[in-house]
Amino acid sequence: MTKTEDFERALQKSWSLESSTLWSEETPTAGQCGVTALVANDILNALIVKTRFGLTWHFYNLIDGKRYDFTKAQFEYPIVYDDIPASREEALADTNDQQYGYLSKAVTAVLATDLTGDNSSD
């Protein structure tokens, strides 16, 4: 697996009501875009970018010039991406410190567990 694939797998194990109040088992990516873009920025050194989706901003990342939208599954319709540079402050305004702290720790823990080979929580 690549580093981004490992990261995406860790996200899927980590998203919860703790990382977004919109989370559900049916749509675990709901409301996760800002917080996910921040954690990808931390762990993968990914640029944070945004595009307008309806009346709100949707946040995602660019890594080595390639677009990674880890939360696109929350939308029923295709996204027309603008790749507008965004700041950490803008993405944080889409979430809060508690959700960001939770997701950052959860993803880091999953990645560390996967690295050590201890998959007893699977």
Name the token pair of 68: 């990674």
CA atoms within 13 A on the CB side of 68: 22
Q: How many domains does the chain have?
A: 1
- For residues 37 and 104, is the Cβ–Cβ distance under 8 A? no
Domain assignment present for residue 118? The answer is: no
Q: What is the pLDDT of residues 22-57, one digit of tens each?
A: 999 999 999 999 999 999 999 999 999 999 998 999
Report pLDDT for 1.
79
Tell me which residue range forms the domain holding 75. Answer: 3-112
pLDDT over 90, % of the chain: 90
Domain assignment present for residue 120? The answer is: no
Domain assignment present for residue 117? The answer is: no
Instruction: Report, as an integer, the average pLDDT of 77-101.
Output: 96
Residue 118 has pLDDT above 60, yes or no: no
Identify residue 51 by its one-letter amino acid code.
Answer: T
